[in-house]
Structure 1
């Protein structure tokens, strides 16, 4: 891509009120049958248009066809019983009722490939598509079959690789794996989590990314952040190993977070998606605030490897707020582009 500091989102955008309840994560669909299929496609078109109007360079589907960033993928797989539920601790942060792995996990057919091909037909812009990462998938399930987090992660990595290869063939330019669990289970990340992620990208020629954030702006996450102290150094535990990995891009949270920006130095040489938009606040950043965050990041990442982005997904936000934040991201990136050109 030729654009300097190309902008993108981490993933989700708010859904229209006719598709799902606004400002609520993982809200049930309001439509059914063919109406739901058509409604999801219409919402995808709207999300694309919102990004285009805001000047976003690398577009996505805004996760409009997904109810949940992890379980929507899992519910298309064999070996997982959604009726048999257990309560587990998600990322050591909150309890949730989750489906159970009851047998070998299998992918009988593509999950997102048709949606990706549909989006590809709507635009010539670069497209980034998000998939759940293996470690975050196992952290969102109760495993009654493999009884080994590592073994289940490797099974999911193989399945994700199948999906990723077909997404690339459908015209996707960047495949991003969402791994918020990487900010929690540091020993496992270094022991086998990054290796499992490398299995998921095997054989791909498109760009690959891993998105590691501190979560949506929901109470469970904001409460957890209050316990992290004055500096959030979690990235420090895994960045050295990630720098050595085959993952091309790393997406991290910077705006209004307590992440010391110099931690980016630990992944020098990688492309870095710098989160310059806070998704835990409805206050719309000014372009100057975005530009300040990007300038700060440029001390530790070369300009040709910096990708301005959002901290996380914006699904829980009001649509007008998300729209304003996208516009601020674009305007802030443009300020820094002009400075670099001068």
Structure 2
């Protein structure tokens, strides 16, 4: 692994077309039974191979074994009924049919541990596993039981902590919590959101990441971004609290966004996983474009704390496009890496 500027992806990679419908979120599986189990493992093995051959240093599963970054975790919990569905507004942006919380939520057994153990067997590089954060989980459900977003978030935080501890025991080096909801519900972030996130990460020896983005490159998200004006300052709410939190790394969207780069100063001292690849654009970045984004960030984060990454997951892309973007990410990081080595001589 590159000691300086280790590269990583945020979450998803496109699944093989034989496993799931391409370029689709919540894509249904094309296999079932034992064939599905085998197909998921094959896809995970391919995802690891593709990351390694394209110079990605911190390897993840590319979310090959799950349909969706939030609901796949939730469907393994008790107290949630997937037959009783309601239409809710997700992150105040788009309507989706979601399951209903009908009783006390609980985790009867580990959800992702077998998959994580399989990932661990595929590589000796550091591995990262993503879990949904408590606030993003409650925003992807209809709650008929607790009738309190905060109460339900705390319940999920405890469950996530159990899962994270099991993932750590399975050999996961870095555990990432996805909290795109932090960019929308600013009052809740301050009142209990960061505290619930810390509860999810409590007692872990593995490194922890919180990923806060502006969403996948789907129309509902790009339309919302178009309303945010010339400067996107949503991170100003959460960053000062995250800087004081137990979370090790903050992952943010940057390339082609309107996020002012100087907001990174608000998390000085934390590791920064910087989105240097746009996931809402079909054009492949040049290595020099990636390098430029990283250079601008280095004014606000020390080089030994910068992790070049993608803005968000790439599930909606075709595979060739996503892999070309991975190559651009690692090539751009290498340019800056060499510059830093020369400057240090």
Equivalent in the alignment of 1:90: 90
Instruction: Specify the SS of the correspondent of 1:255.
Output: coil
Give the TM-score normalised by structure 2.
0.98
Equivalent in the alignment of 2:63: 63
Give the TM-score normalised by structure 1.
0.99
- How many Å separate the matches in 1 of 2:46 and 2:2? 26
- How many Å separate the matches in 2 of 1:315 and 1:2? 26
- How many Å separate the matches in 2 of 1:154 and 1:30? 35
Render the CA deviation track for 1:34-79: whole Å, top value 9, x for unaligned: 0000000000001001101101000000000000100000000000
- How many Å separate the matches in 1 of 2:87 and 2:13? 28
Using the TM superposition, give the Cα deviation of residue 219 of structure 1 relative to its aligned residue in structure 2, in angstroms: 0.2
Using the TM superposition, give the Cα deviation of residue 27 of structure 1 relative to its aligned residue in structure 2, in angstroms: 0.4
Equivalent in the alignment of 1:137: 137
- How many Å separate the matches in 2 of 1:23 and 1:86? 25
Instruction: Specify the SS of the correspondent of 1:13.
Output: coil
Equivalent in the alignment of 1:199: 199
Equivalent in the alignment of 2:276: 276
Instruction: Specify the SS of the correspondent of 2:59.
Output: coil
Using the TM superposition, give the Cα deviation of residue 282 of structure 1 relative to its aligned residue in structure 2, in angstroms: 1.0
Equivalent in the alignment of 2:152: 152
- How many Å separate the matches in 2 of 1:303 and 1:61? 26
1:189 to 2:189 alignment: yes
Using the TM superposition, give the Cα deviation of residue 237 of structure 1 relative to its aligned residue in structure 2, in angstroms: 1.3
- How many Å separate the matches in 2 of 1:51 and 1:101? 37
- How many Å separate the matches in 2 of 1:224 and 1:2? 36
Render the CA deviation track for 1:175-222: whole Å, top value 9, x for unaligned: 000000000001101110000010001110110000000000000000
Query: What root-mean-square deviation, in Å, do the aligned CA atoms of Structure 1 and Structure 2 show?
Result: 0.7
User: Unpaired segments of 5 or more residues in structure 2?
Assistant: none
Q: Output aligned runs, 1:179-328, within 5 Å.
A: 179-328=179-328
Using the TM superposition, give the Cα deviation of residue 2 of structure 1 relative to its aligned residue in structure 2, in angstroms: 6.0
1:119 to 2:131 alignment: no
Instruction: Specify the SS of the correspondent of 1:136.
Output: helix
Instruction: Specify the SS of the correspondent of 1:282.
Output: coil
- How many Å separate the matches in 2 of 1:181 and 1:67? 19
- How many Å separate the matches in 2 of 1:186 and 1:162? 27
- How many Å separate the matches in 1 of 2:105 and 2:203? 21
Render the CA deviation track for 1:293-330: whole Å, top value 9, x for unaligned: 00000000000000000000001101110010000000
